[in-house]
Amino acid sequence: MSEEIEKTYYPNGVLKAEVPYKNGKRNGIAKQYYEDGKLMLEMSLIEDKVSGVMRQYDTQGNLELESVYLDNSKYGVEKWYYPSGAIKAEIPYKEGKKCGIVKWFYESGILKAETSYKEDEECGEVREYYPNGQLKYEAYFENGVMDGEEKVYYENGQIWCVTPVQDGKEEGIAKEYDKSGKLIKTKQYAKGVCLQESKP
């Protein structure tokens, strides 16, 4: 059984990467470094394939990304972090494809956005939120294409505009309101083209 560690270096002589080998194949924890010597990336390798935990760090040494792999494909929940350590995003994977509800967060921990995925395509509800937690935007997707009503809200919770969408294109009458709830504009759409705009 032969074991060795392959090392590569930056022009200034600083270690750039080290990859462990066993019996001619990559096996073990591979590491990549920034030019100042700080750890950039570490990943688990089994028989030339990424299998296990992969961690990525920013230039200050803070954990930025944590993923789990099986035979080069992502599995489970991938996590992104702010430099403070707070969760930035949670992205569920199955066989390398997004599958489930992807969530993004403000650094305060309040939910910023959530999108439902199936087989790497947006499928289901998409929502965005203001920093105070108030709903900002919502829409519905089917196989990666928007279908249904697209709604945008003011930060006070009042509806801003409602746009009917069919197969990814505006279709029908879109309505826009002011912050008090008064209708201020309507637009008539057909297959994504605005045919008429009017004010009450």
For the cut 70, the answer to whether the pLDDT of residue 46 exceeds it is: yes
The pTM is what? 0.88
For the cut 80, the answer to whether the pLDDT of residue 1 exceeds it is: no
- Mean pLDDT across 72-86: 97
Domain 99-200: which topology? Outer Surface Protein A; domain 3 (3.90.930)
The closest alpha carbon to 149, from 158, 137, 162, belongs to 162
pLDDT class of 2 with cuts at 50, 70, 90: confident
- Mean pLDDT across 117-139: 96
Residue 90 DSSP symbol: E
Q: What is the mean pLDDT of the chain?
A: 96
Burial track 91-128 (b if 16+ CB lie within 10 A, e otherwise): bbbbeeebbbebbbbbeeeeebbbbbbbeeebbeebbb
87-108: pLDDT as tens digits: 999 999 999 999 999 999 999 9
